[in-house]
């Protein structure tokens, strides 16, 4: 069963992504026709919006209150009225605007005076002119003519006052079945035809999703015509974080990318108390723009900060500047030479033979025999088959366990683990991923209560406390942590998460690691802490590791390496790409495997040459053009290919006089030292842990996993 991300956020109160060095700020306006319904009068709602932190408000029908009382309310609150609707007609009789109704032309013209009176008194610079409902026996052509005439008149009347006229297509499937203007394309055609500078489009994500869909392209296409935006979830018109059709995390990222700086009206129906419902802003890493002035950052002018909190911002910004990656050119030749000498010595001291266990499992036999798959698809299936085989070898593939897949993507690894135990129902699956993917694999596991439960959590692993996941704590199944797409520091977050938030034998006695992140437990008495049974994680992207996230600090310090040297160690791990080549065709792969010669040097087999995955993927991609049979399975997305674009730039330090093979050897040893530090961390936590080569290096140079198991 797929968990609702909204429920998870409510239970664990963790923030989602922060889009910049400060929380991203939009000019959100509270729609008083929908929000703060706890207060019966419009006057009270202004005060409530102010108390909730809003600077901007909008109201559909201020005409329901005397103008003087509304004007006094907004002046007292100090809020800014950014939008009202034009006179709507008789709401009690079902009117929803009258601009397109031919028989109410005079009424529309006369009520424009009232509309302007309210707008000027409230200092409102946007007016939404509503089209109205189609009457019986309506004439579409006549209604359009009337609408164009009246909108032209309104725009002309509004222009001297500096007021923008906006029109909005509503949906006819849920909200207003007989509304005249429902097509956003038609609305923009009318705007183009009238061609007035103060006539704009009101883009409501709720209505557009229901009628048009394709939100990204539609917004990008019509953004130049947009004068106001409104948001709500589909289909219940609730808060953006409600379970529904629109991914608002993506929407806010898109608006930021498109540099939208207008107002965003919160035209939604709160699920309960309005203020409590505003927690979604924090969950999305957002702030309500309270009208504070923003200025360029004095340190980095590429971003801005609030003028009245410059010092607070500078403190954070300076810290981030210190954490920026150091270019390789900033290290002196002597520093590089000294570290390379240390790497050779430490490798000989601490890295013993890495066992090669290239395993498989019958659950993927059919997939692996599919002749239509190319090398990239085969690689992933072989990785999954070996990971499942490793679990079986560790006796971690049986009933009564909860498998937590960290960095799950589509959850394919969990899918194959379940397929390896097809008749077992006493299982749990928790899929943790921060990205936005289409959960196709999840659909394979929607069955009755008799089957295993698949739960998905959308959260940064750094914020994850497995002890607080209800399905884990309530069922008390031992947890097996697995992962295939954990890049660099994400691996360290994962190891810290499972050892700090689950019960590990002798953990409290044996670990001496500093606790960079504290995890609080609220209900120790209701359930004992769930146990960690084991770990199987494929390693990659060592160049992305950072000192701040790394779990093996104690090992690195004991080796006599500094923080700066660890940073250089991670950068040199990218040198592994110097000479690696993989199989270019399936025929070549099968030929070498069948004759028992994978063309890998014996020393490389035992010590495991590694490399950044992006080189592997580039060669895999080129092989698809060379071999007609190497068709990639369409169900695999970019996450499955582990495309990492941030690896070290091509080597250009001629002063070191290192050959490609020497650089590769140094890079490989750097990776293994980083990984051995992780092994030491897990052993200090009371786990049996080691590194293994789990797949052929000619399929991917990132072919090492870290495994760990409880000693009981």
How many other C-beta atoms can be found within 10 angstroms of the C-beta atom of residue 192?
Answer: 10
Q: Quick check: 674 pLDDT over 70? A: yes
Q: Which of 78, 8, 13, 92 is nearest to 46 (CA)?
A: 78
How many other C-beta atoms can be found within 10 angstroms of the C-beta atom of residue 607?
Answer: 19
The arithmetic mean of pLDDT across residues 699-705, rounded, is 90
Q: Quick check: 19 pLDDT over 60? A: no
Range with the poorest average pLDDT among 16-30, 447-461, 573-587 = 16-30
In terms of Cβ atoms closer than 10 Å to its own Cβ (0-12, 13-18, 19+), residue 625 is: exposed
Pairing of strands 286-288, 263-266: unpaired
Residue-wise pLDDT for 468-499, tens only, equals 999 898 888 999 999 997 888 999 999 999 99
Residue-wise pLDDT for 537-582, tens only, equals 999 999 889 999 999 999 999 999 999 999 999 999 988 876 778 8
The predicted structure's pLDDT at residue 446:
66
Residue-wise pLDDT for 348-382, tens only, equals 999 978 999 999 999 999 999 888 888 888 999 99
Q: Quick check: 155 pLDDT over 70? A: yes
Q: Which of 462, 660, 707, 677 is nearest to 570 (CA)?
A: 677
How many other C-beta atoms can be found within 10 angstroms of the C-beta atom of residue 454?
Answer: 28
User: What DSSP string runs through 619-683?
Assistant: HHHHHHHH-TT-BPPTT--TTTTT----SPPPP--GGG---HHHHHHHHHHHHHHHHHHHHHHHH
3-state secondary structure of 502: coil
Instruction: Look at phi and psi of residue 411 and say left if phi exceeds 0, alpha if psi is from -120 to 50, else beta.
Output: left
Q: Which helix (H) or strand (E) holds 317?
A: helix 310-323
Instruction: Look at phi and psi of residue 409 and say left if phi exceeds 0, alpha if psi is from -120 to 50, else beta.
Output: left
pLDDT category of residue 7 using cuts at 50, 70 and 90: very low
The arithmetic mean of pLDDT across residues 77-93, rounded, is 95
- The answer for residues whose C-beta is within 8 angstroms of residue 576's C-beta and 6 or more apart is 609, 610, 611, 612, 664, 667, 668, 671, 701
Instruction: Calculate the alpha carbon distances from 107 to 44, 151, 368 in Å.
Output: 31, 14, 73
Taking a C-beta distance cutoff of 8 angstroms, is the pair 48, 39 a contact?
yes
Give the active site residues: 168, 267
Q: What is the mean pLDDT of the chain?
A: 83
Residue-wise pLDDT for 426-441, tens only, equals 999 999 987 655 565 6
The arithmetic mean of pLDDT across residues 67-75, rounded, is 94
The predicted structure's pLDDT at residue 601:
41
The arithmetic mean of pLDDT across residues 622-649, rounded, is 36
The predicted structure's pLDDT at residue 649:
44
pLDDT category of residue 324 using cuts at 50, 70 and 90: low
Q: Which range, 6-20, 189-203, 407-421, is most confident?
A: 189-203
The predicted structure's pLDDT at residue 383:
95
Q: Which of 214, 219, 213, 203 is nearest to 169 (CA)?
A: 203
Q: Rounded to whole angstroms, how far apart are CA atoms 13 and 285?
A: 12
Taking a C-beta distance cutoff of 8 angstroms, is the pair 475, 455 a contact?
no
Q: Quick check: 309 pLDDT over 80? A: no
Residue-wise pLDDT for 253-274, tens only, equals 999 999 999 999 999 999 999 9
Q: Helix 215-222 to helix 248-257 angle, to the nearest 10 degrees? A: 30
Q: Which of 170, 180, 175 is nearest to 150 (CA)?
A: 180
pLDDT category of residue 646 using cuts at 50, 70 and 90: very low
The arithmetic mean of pLDDT across residues 626-646, rounded, is 35
Q: Quick check: 35 pLDDT over 60? A: yes
Q: Which range, 328-342, 533-547, 577-591, is most confident?
A: 533-547
Q: Token match 């005060």: residue?
A: 47
Q: Token match 């974080």: residue?
A: 241
Determine if the pTM surpasses 0.75. Answer: no
- The answer for residues whose C-beta is within 8 angstroms of residue 629's C-beta and 6 or more apart is 371, 372, 374, 586
Residue-wise pLDDT for 156-185, tens only, equals 999 999 999 999 999 999 999 999 999 999
The predicted structure's pLDDT at residue 640:
37
Residue-wise pLDDT for 212-265, tens only, equals 999 999 999 999 999 999 999 999 999 999 899 999 999 999 999 999 999 999
Bridge partner residues of 58 (DSSP): 31, 83
Bridge partner residues of 128 (DSSP): 85, 166
Instruction: Look at phi and psi of residue 407 and say left if phi exceeds 0, alpha if psi is from -120 to 50, else beta.
Output: left
The predicted structure's pLDDT at residue 642:
40
Q: Quick check: 285 pLDDT over 90? A: no
pLDDT category of residue 627 using cuts at 50, 70 and 90: very low
Range with the poorest average pLDDT among 43-52, 281-290, 642-651, 689-698 = 642-651
- The answer for residues whose C-beta is within 8 angstroms of residue 180's C-beta and 6 or more apart is 100, 131, 132, 133, 134, 143, 147
The predicted structure's pLDDT at residue 315:
80
pLDDT category of residue 338 using cuts at 50, 70 and 90: very high
The arithmetic mean of pLDDT across residues 281-293, rounded, is 79
632 vs 313: which has the higher pLDDT: 313
Taking a C-beta distance cutoff of 8 angstroms, is the pair 473, 20 a contact?
no
The predicted structure's pLDDT at residue 332:
87
The predicted structure's pLDDT at residue 415:
92
């Amino acid at each position: 069963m797929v968990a609702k991300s909204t429920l998870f956020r409510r239970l664990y109160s963790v923030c989602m992504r922060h889009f910049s060095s400060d929380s991203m700020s939009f000019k959100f306006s509270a729609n008083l026709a929908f929000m703060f319904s706890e207060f019966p009068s419009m006057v009270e709602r202004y005060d409530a919006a102010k108390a909730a932190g809003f600077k901007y408000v909008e109201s559909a029908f201020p005409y329901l209150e005397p103008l003087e009382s509304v004007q006094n309310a907004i002046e007292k609150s100090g809020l800014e009225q950014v939008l009202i609707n034009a006179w709507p007609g008789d709401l009690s009789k079902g009117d929803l605007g009258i601009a397109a109704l031919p028989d109410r032309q005079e009424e529309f013209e006369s009520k424009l005076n009232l509309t302007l009176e309210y707008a000027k008194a409230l200092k409102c610079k946007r007016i939404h002119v509503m089209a109205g409902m189609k009457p019986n026996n309506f004439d579409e052509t006549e209604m359009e003519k009337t609408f164009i005439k009246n909108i032209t008149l309104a725009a002309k009347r509004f222009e001297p006052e500096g007021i923008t006229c906006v029109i909005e297509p509503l949906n006819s499937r849920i909200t207003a079945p007989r509304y005249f203007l429902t097509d956003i394309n038609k609305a923009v055609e009318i705007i183009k035809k009238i061609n007035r500078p103060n006539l704009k489009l009101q883009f409501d994500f709720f209505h557009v999703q229901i009628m048009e869909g394709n939100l990204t392209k539609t917004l990008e296409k019509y953004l130049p015509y947009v004068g106001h935006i409104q948001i709500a979830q589909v289909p219940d018109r609730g808060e953006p974080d409600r379970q529904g059709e629109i991914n608002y995390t993506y929407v806010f990222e898109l608006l930021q990318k498109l540099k939208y700086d207008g107002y965003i009206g919160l035209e939604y129906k709160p699920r309960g108390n309005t203020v409590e419902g505003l927690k979604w802003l924090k969950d999305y890493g957002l702030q309500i723009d309270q009208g504070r002035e923003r200025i360029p950052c004095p340190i980095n002018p590429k971003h801005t900060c609030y003028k009245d909190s410059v010092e607070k911002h500078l403190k954070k910004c300076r810290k981030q500047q210190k954490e920026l990656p150091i270019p390789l050119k900033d290290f002196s030749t002597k520093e590089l030479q000294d570290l390379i000498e240390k790497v050779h010595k430490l490798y000989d001291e601490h890295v013993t033979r890495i066992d090669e266990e290239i395993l498989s499992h019958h659950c993927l036999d059919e997939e692996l025999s599919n002749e239509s798959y190319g090398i990239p698809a085969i690689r992933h299936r072989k990785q999954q088959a070996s990971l499942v085989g490793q679990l079986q070898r560790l006796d971690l593939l049986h009933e009564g366990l909860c498998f937590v897949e960290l960095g799950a993507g589509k959850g394919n690894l969990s899918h194959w683990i379940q397929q390896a135990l097809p008749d077992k129902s006493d299982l749990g699956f928790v899929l943790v991923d921060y990205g936005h993917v289409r959960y196709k694999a999840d659909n394979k596991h929607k069955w009755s209560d008799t089957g295993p439960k698949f739960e998905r959590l959308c959260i940064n692993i750094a914020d994850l406390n497995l002890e607080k996941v209800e399905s884990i704590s309530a069922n008390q199944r031992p947890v097996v942590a697995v992962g295939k797409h954990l890049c660099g520091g994400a691996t360290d977050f994962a190891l810290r998460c499972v050892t700090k938030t689950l019960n590990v034998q002798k953990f409290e006695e044996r670990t001496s690691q500093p606790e960079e992140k504290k995890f609080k437990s609220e209900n120790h008495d209701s359930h004992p802490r769930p146990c960690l049974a084991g770990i199987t994680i494929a390693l990659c992207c060592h160049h992305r590791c950072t000192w701040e996230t790394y779990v093996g600090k104690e090992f690195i310090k004991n080796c006599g390496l500094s923080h700066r040297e660890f940073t250089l160690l991670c950068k040199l791990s990218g040198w592994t790409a110097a000479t690696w080549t993989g199989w270019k065709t399936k025929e070549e792969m099968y030929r070498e495997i069948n004759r028992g010669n994978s063309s890998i040097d014996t020393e490389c087999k035992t010590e495991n040459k590694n490399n950044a995955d992006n080189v592997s993927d580039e060669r895999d991609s080129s092989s698809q053009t060379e071999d007609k049979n190497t068709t990639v399975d369409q169900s695999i997305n970019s996450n499955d290919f582990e495309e990492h674009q941030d690896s070290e730039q091509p080597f250009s330090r001629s002063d070191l006089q290192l050959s490609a093979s020497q650089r590769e050897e140094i890079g490989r040893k750097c990776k293994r030292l980083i990984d051995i530090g992780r092994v030491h961390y897990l052993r200090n936590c009371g786990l049996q842990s080691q590194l293994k080569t789990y797949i052929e290096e000619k399929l991917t140079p990132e072919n090492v996993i870290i495994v760990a198991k409880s000693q009981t």
